């Protein structure tokens, strides 16, 4: 919970500081791409940092993130040890 809250603070601070709508200002940039996996995890685990739902949704809807996600899903290569859940 503390890590989720911290990410929320970082995202909110960056958007407020730069004027948004992206973390670095008016244009999607590498810093947004860096946080795309975090936004995916938030969605998959049903997490939400206070005040960040709009940013996370916007990030996941960006065409570059959508293309990256589609390419990843289409990749047939797998690492076996990451495809199975642990027994414990």
Please give the pLDDT value at position 86. Answer: 75
SS3 26: coil
pLDDT in tens, 32-74: 999 999 999 999 999 988 888 999 999 999 999 999 999 999 9
- Cα angle for residues 50, 56, 61 (degrees, 5° grid): 160
Rounded-to-integer distance, Cα 15 and Cα 22, Å: 6
């Amino acid at each position: 919970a503390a890590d989720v809250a911290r990410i929320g603070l970082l995202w909110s601070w960056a958007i407020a500081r730069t004027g948004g709508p992206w973390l670095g200002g008016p244009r999607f940039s590498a810093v947004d791409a860096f946080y795309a996996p975090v936004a995916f995890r938030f969605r998959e685990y049903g997490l939400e940092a206070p005040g960040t739902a709009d940013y996370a949704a916007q990030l996941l809807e960006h065409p570059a993130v959508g293309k990256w996600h589609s390419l990843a899903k289409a990749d047939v290569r797998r690492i076996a040890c990451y495809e199975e859940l642990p027994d414990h």
